[in-house]
Amino acid sequence: MDLSIRVTILKEISELRGFVYLPLFGLMAITFYKETERHLVIWPVGILIALVGISIRIWATKHIGRRMPWKKNKGKKLIRTGPYAIARNPLYIGNIIAATGLSMLSELVWMLPLVILYLSVIYHLVVLYEEKKLSERWGEAYLTYLNEVPRWIPNLKQFNRTTSGGFGWRDALRSEIPSLYVNLLAIFTFLMKEFLSHMD
């Protein structure tokens, strides 16, 4: 495949990354095949896993300042603090974990490996595009970062090295409001699915 076509495809995937949940949650909302009916396990565990993912997102947002247009220094430096000191893509890691937890609420436990695989492939393609753009922007500093910090599997040995810095927690929470709405919508959707399934 021609390089320019490949870059264009990766760019398109990157621009649509905010909507990658829709096909998944839409499918799970209308699927009742082999549901796991152990509600006292599924719902608490699913919400706990989702909260872990959301917490990682908030922590990452606190450092990167994404979607904080009121911050003047947004994007002016390469972020290497907090979760960005141990993995290069904590926002996407948080997304995958949160989506896994929310997917449990559909009671389609057999679909969890598919959810994780689907999101991992999509985000991996997004990251390939973003890494190209970031290496063009930051040059040698970013190449050094690529060599020192893993893409996906956190290097916890670096956890204590640079965990401070970033924006305030209030700004991080404020920035994550749209993501929280998406999570609440998924919970509401699966609650409605559960309600409708017991009306028969």
In tens, the pLDDT along 127-176 reads 998 898 888 888 898 999 999 999 999 988 776 655 556 677 888 888 88
In this structure, the dihedral spanned by the alpha carbons of residues 89, 95, 100 and 105, taken in order and rounded to 10 degrees, is 170
95: nearest Cα among 130, 125, 64, 120 = 120
Mean local confidence (pLDDT), 115-129: 91
The rounded mean pLDDT for the chain is 83
At residue 87, the pLDDT reads: 95
Cβ–Cβ < 8 Å for 163, 81? yes
Alpha helices, DSSP H only, in 3-151?
Answer: 3-15, 21-30, 39-64, 90-104, 112-138, 140-148
Q: Which two tokens stand for residue 91?
A: 């926002």
Task: Report the C-alpha gap between 94 and 87 in whole angstroms.
Answer: 11
Model confidence, pTM = 0.85
Question: Which of residues 2 and 101 earns the better pLDDT score?
Answer: 101
